């Protein structure tokens, strides 16, 4: 069993951490791998080559980076391409999915917005998975049951589709308690990606195991919904406070912003 993290960002796009810092941070967290997905639109050919090379150079028998990209699509939809760094010259989501899959990557819809569910269900080809809990977008306390329901409906068309659990890590003080444990027989990007592809993994958060099939008991879904509601209330309070400070010409101190990121 290999413990790792999915959906993280570095200074190659809009993250605070360098690759070296990410490696050190996640080794301290007990991880063996990280699927990194910096934003595709931040790269040109030179920086993309440097990204690939540094991910490889900072990987060894102790820890592996698996380089990927996060692709921005029309209507502010984002698609994660785990295991692929192939540029895609399109913002059409089905075309992005097609090209990720065609290049050998795993296409996962990132933190889908509720209003996009109907469109996502109609995508052809279908993605390989749905990010059912993103601890940056949904909050650390709970996920949206509606996203798990979306996955259930989509599995009627493609039964192998799975639930993914991501950190969406950007900031130094951001919550980092969401992990993914894969059943792989070796610490190798190919073996890890194959385990993710076949659903041979589970999410791990605060001792809870979150299955790759996304099938959670009703009581667990209810608990996650309560936690998500707590996160949204806290964020609502923070947004109102920011509007007030902006209105009176004050700025929120960076130290306070850092603490708020720990809370959420």
**Residue 171: what pLDDT?**
97
**Residue 232: what pLDDT?**
82
132 neighbors 214 (Cβ within 8 angstroms): yes
Q: What is the mean pLDDT of residues 63-76?
A: 98
Give dist(CA 112, CA 101) in Å, integer: 19
Q: What is the mean pLDDT of residues 60-69?
A: 98
What is the C-alpha end-to-end distance of the chain, expressed in Å?
29
121 neighbors 156 (Cβ within 8 angstroms): no
CATH number of 2-219: 3.20.20.140
Q: Is residue 154 exposed (0-12), middle (13-18) or buried (19+ Cβ within 10 Å)?
A: buried
Q: What is the mean pLDDT of residues 26-42?
A: 98
**Residue 239: what pLDDT?**
61
Give dist(CA 81, CA 108) in Å, integer: 7
Percent of the chain at pLDDT > 90 equals 86
Residue-averaged pLDDT of the chain: 92
**Tens-digit pLDDT profile for residues 252-264:** 555 555 555 555 5
Q: What is the mean pLDDT of residues 88-115?
A: 98
- Binned at pLDDT 50, 70 and 90, residue 13 comes out as very high
Res 51 pLDDT > 80: yes
Helix (H, G, I), strand (E, B) or coil at 204: strand
Res 158 pLDDT > 70: yes
**Tens-digit pLDDT profile for residues 167-182:** 999 999 999 999 999 9
- Binned at pLDDT 50, 70 and 90, residue 251 comes out as low
């Amino acid at each position: 069993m290999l413990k790792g993290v999915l959906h993280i960002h570095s200074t190659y796009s809009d993250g605070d951490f360098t690759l070296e810092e990410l490696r050190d941070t996640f080794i301290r967290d007990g991880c063996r791998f990280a699927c990194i997905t910096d934003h595709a639109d931040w790269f040109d050919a030179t920086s993309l080559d440097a990204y690939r090379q540094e991910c490889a150079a900072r990987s060894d028998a102790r820890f592996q980076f698996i380089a990927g990209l996060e692709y921005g699509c029309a209507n502010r939809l984002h698609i994660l391409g785990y295991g692929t760094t192939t540029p895609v010259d399109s913002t059409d989501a089905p075309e992005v999915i097609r090209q990720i899959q065609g290049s050998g990557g795993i296409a996962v819809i990132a933190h889908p917005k509720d209003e996009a569910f109907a469109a996502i269900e109609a995508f052809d080809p279908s993605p390989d998975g749905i990010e059912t809990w993103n601890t940056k977008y949904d909050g650390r306390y709970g996920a949206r049951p509606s996203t798990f329901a979306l996955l259930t409906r989509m599995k009627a068309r493609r039964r192998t589709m799975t639930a993914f659990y991501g950190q969406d890590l950007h900031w130094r003080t951001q919550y980092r308690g969401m992990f993914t444990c894969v059943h792989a027989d070796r610490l190798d990007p190919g073996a890890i990606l194959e385990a993710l592809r076949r659903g041979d993994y589970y999410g791990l958060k605060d001792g809870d195991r979150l299955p790759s099939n996304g099938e959670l008991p009703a009581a667990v879904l209810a608990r996650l919904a309560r936690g998500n509601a707590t996160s949204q209330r806290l964020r609502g309070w923070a947004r109102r406070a920011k509007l007030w400070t902006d209105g009176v010409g004050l700025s929120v101190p960076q130290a306070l912003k850092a603490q708020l990121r720990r809370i959420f």
